[in-house]
Amino acid sequence: MKVTLVSRSGREFIKGGLELNDSATVADLQEAIHKRTKKFYPSRQRLTLPVPSGSRERPVILNYKKSLKDYCDGNENTLTIVFKDLGPQVSYRTLFFFEYLGPLILYPVFYYFPVYKYFGYEEKRVIHPVQTYALYYWCFHYFKRIMETFFIHRFSHATSPLSNVFRNCAYYWTFGSYIAYYVNHPLYTPVSDLQMKIGFGFGIVCQLANFYCHIILKNLRSPDGSGGYQIPRGFLFNIVTCANYTTEIYQWLGFNIATQTVAGYVFLVVATSIMTNWALAKHRRLKKMEGRSTPEDGLFFLHSCRTDR
């Protein structure tokens, strides 16, 4: 069959179109485009069905596993596809690794090295126990994240634009340094021993719960990442849609209860709002899959309460 490729402005993207087998899949089409254009490897390609002009509907994105025939509207011999370049892409593994590496390395710098000398403070300082525990907690947290990135998480086909590496690293590395500066400060004021124990204890429990959530999510997919989006069940997923985000948020709350810095709480608020956005989007996506029509209610602390069981 003949596939005509156009850009979003309507211009023909590949002159003369591409000739493919009638039984070809979208993945085959992506390979063909890559072969012709060299620069646009498959994860950079965004292929959609044309939307009638004036229509406000979101375009249908082609699924790489489906065959092209599935998208033919009746006319089996020709197909018009809209192409968009997503820009250079990186795998999620790469993105996550660099995001998390920053906090893992930068935080100990503030703990171990005489950084505060350059801010005008004397070199000698007393280290409170809570500051040491905070170092272990923090580093364990980001070490756990990196391990999960390589050994637990099963990423679907998806990649992320290269520009996100800079944006996300700026976010994690800046906040990491900002918090590390205050927790390890020579003039740091610790909270009570009890409060510290409650904070770290609660945080560790949440991190363990978070790890278990990730295991559940992992088992929804096969090792190569196929399996798409499914509704997770069991454990905390019976109460909230995105239990992994919930436990992550509460884990940071534990850290902040123990260390008590404005910087830490600012980070908590920002991270919570970002994850809330993600949770609402995922909740909407999953509901659409199941075809349920009941409106969800986001109880903010619990990240989109489940209404379906």
Is 253 among the residues that bind another protein (CB under 8 A)?
Answer: no
Nearer to another protein, 126 or 295 (CB): 126
Nearest approach, Cβ of 167 to another protein (angstroms)? 12
Is 260 among the residues that bind another protein (CB under 8 A)?
Answer: yes
Nearest approach, Cβ of 183 to another protein (angstroms)? 7
Position among 239, 262, 269, 281 found at the interface with another protein (CB under 8 A): 262
Please state, in angstroms and rounded to a whole number, the distance separating the CA atoms of residues 35 and 215: 38
**Dihedral angle at the C-alpha atoms of 245, 208, 204, 142, nearest 10 degrees?**
-70
Nearest approach, Cβ of 129 to another protein (angstroms)? 16
Nearer to another protein, 14 or 198 (CB): 198
Q: Which residues in 165-184 contact another protein (CB under 8 A)?
A: 182-183
Nearest approach, Cβ of 234 to another protein (angstroms)? 38
Nearer to another protein, 64 or 178 (CB): 178
Nearest approach, Cβ of 120 to another protein (angstroms)? 11
Nearer to another protein, 185 or 197 (CB): 185
Contacts with another protein: how many residues (CB under 8 A)? 11
Is 8 among the residues that bind another protein (CB under 8 A)?
Answer: no
Please state, in angstroms and rounded to a whole number, the distance separating the CA atoms of residues 265 and 65: 44
**Dihedral angle at the C-alpha atoms of 18, 21, 26, 32, nearest 10 degrees?**
-40
Residue among 268, 152, 256, 250 at smallest CA distance from 205: 250
Nearer to another protein, 236 or 258 (CB): 258
Q: Of the ranges 77-85, 96-104, 256-264, 286-294, which one interacts with another protein (CB under 8 A)? A: 256-264
| Token pair of 119 as six digits | 């801010």
Nearer to another protein, 101 or 165 (CB): 165
Q: Which residues pair with 67 in a beta bridge?
A: 25
Residue among 48, 154, 47, 43 at smallest CA distance from 88: 43
What is the contact mask toward another protein in residues 111 to 150, using x (rule: CB under 8 A)? Answer: ----------------------------------------
Position among 261, 272, 276, 304 found at the interface with another protein (CB under 8 A): 261
Non-local (6+) Cβ contacts of 254 within 8 A are: 199, 200, 201, 202, 203, 204, 205, 206
What Cα–Cα distance (Å) separates residue 68 from each residue in 20, 21, 46?
9, 9, 15
What is the contact mask toward another protein in residues 182 to 221, using x (rule: CB under 8 A)? Answer: xx-x-xxx--------------------------------
Q: Which parts of this chain interact with another protein (CB under 8 A)?
A: 182-183, 185, 187-189, 259-263
